[in-house]
């Protein structure tokens, strides 16, 4: 692919400031990101720190790995990584402190949290909401909006639940049900995002997140427009810690 002057300028842009690549679909954004990642890796001299390249889906990660491989002539190796945003948040931000965040006591020395899809139908509320007992996997809490957000897979039901007046007793039940899920060692990807945001607010983890930022001082996010509001907040938190791109 022959790059335009604007694309070449992006590839050559310095790493010590944020840089956003905006272009229409099919314009070669992923190819430009792959070229810049490859260029950065070839000039990298800050090991054991590395760069993280985050994508929206597993297929996008595979595609980006393939393109970076093409430019480098070999697979991208340590200390760098290409992964989905969900995987990075879970493995790099939350997993090591999940026990403290969730209260999960572990099982036979294993404290790993198991990720459930939101379609899972376990740990239901004791109190009905709109006549339904809702699974802990089908709602999240908006920390800034200070409200619960339901996502059951049924749009009509979601609209009904999200517009319903929720009593304090029901709110307490929703919190208790969600915490029960966590204490059992389970969480959804939405839960992991919320746990990360909660941990960012907790001064106990300042040192931990500073080490994460030193480990990955440069973070590329491909298809940033596909991230959720919570994931964008995580990007801002990483930026506050000194991660660039």
26 is in an annotated binding site: yes
What spatial distance separates the first Cα and last Cα of the chain, rounded to whole Å?
Answer: 23
73-132: per-residue pLDDT in tens?
999 999 999 999 999 999 999 999 999 999 999 988 889 999 999 889 999 999 999 999
23 is in an annotated binding site: yes
| 90 within 8 A of 115, measured Cβ to Cβ | yes
Q: Where are the domains of the chain?
A: 5-95+205-240, 114-184
Taking 70 as the threshold, does the pLDDT of residue 158 lie above it?
Answer: yes
27 is in an annotated binding site: yes
Q: Write the DSSP assignment of 13-24 as a string of letters.
A: S-TTS-------
118 is in an annotated binding site: no
pTM here? 0.89
pLDDT class for 192, splitting at 50, 70, 90?
very high
Taking 80 as the threshold, does the pLDDT of residue 1 lie above it?
Answer: no
Distance CA 47, CA 227 (A): 29
| 67 within 8 A of 56, measured Cβ to Cβ | no
- Name the strand (E) or helix (H) holding 59: helix 58-72
243 is in an annotated binding site: no
| 137 within 8 A of 119, measured Cβ to Cβ | yes
121-154: per-residue pLDDT in tens?
999 999 999 999 999 999 999 988 889 999 999 9
Class of domain 5-95+205-240: alpha beta
29 is in an annotated binding site: yes
Cα torsion angle, 64, 69, 72, 77, sign: positive
194-221: per-residue pLDDT in tens?
999 999 999 999 999 999 999 999 999 9
């Amino acid at each position: 692919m022959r790059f335009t002057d604007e694309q070449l300028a992006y590839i050559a842009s310095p790493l010590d400031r944020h840089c956003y690549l905006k272009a229409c679909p099919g314009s070669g954004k992923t190819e430009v990101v792959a070229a810049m990642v490859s260029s950065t890796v070839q000039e990298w001299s800050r090991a054991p720190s590395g760069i993280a390249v985050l994508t929206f889906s597993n297929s996008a990660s595979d595609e980006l790995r393939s393109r970076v491989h093409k430019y480098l002539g070999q697979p991208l190796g340590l200390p760098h990584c290409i992964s989905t945003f969900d995987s990075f948040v879970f493995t790099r931000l939350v997993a090591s402190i999940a026990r403290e965040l969730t209260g999960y006591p572990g099982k036979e020395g294993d404290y790993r949290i198991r990720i459930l899809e939101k379609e899972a139908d376990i740990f239901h509320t004791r109190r009905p909401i709109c006549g339904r007992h809702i699974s802990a996997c089908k709602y999240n809490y908006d920390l800034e909006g200070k409200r619960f957000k339901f996502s059951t897979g049924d749009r009509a039901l979601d609209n009904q639940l999200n517009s319903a007046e929720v009593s304090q007793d029901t709110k307490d039940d929703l919190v208790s049900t969600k915490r029960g899920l966590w204490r059992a060692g389970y969480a959804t990807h939405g839960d992991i995002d919320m746990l990360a945001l909660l941990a960012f607010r907790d001064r106990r983890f300042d040192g931990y997140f500073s080490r994460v930022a030193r480990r990955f001082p440069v973070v590329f996010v491909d298809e940033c427009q596909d991230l959720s509001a919570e994931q964008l907040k995580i990007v801002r938190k990483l930026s506050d810690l000194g991660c660039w791109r």
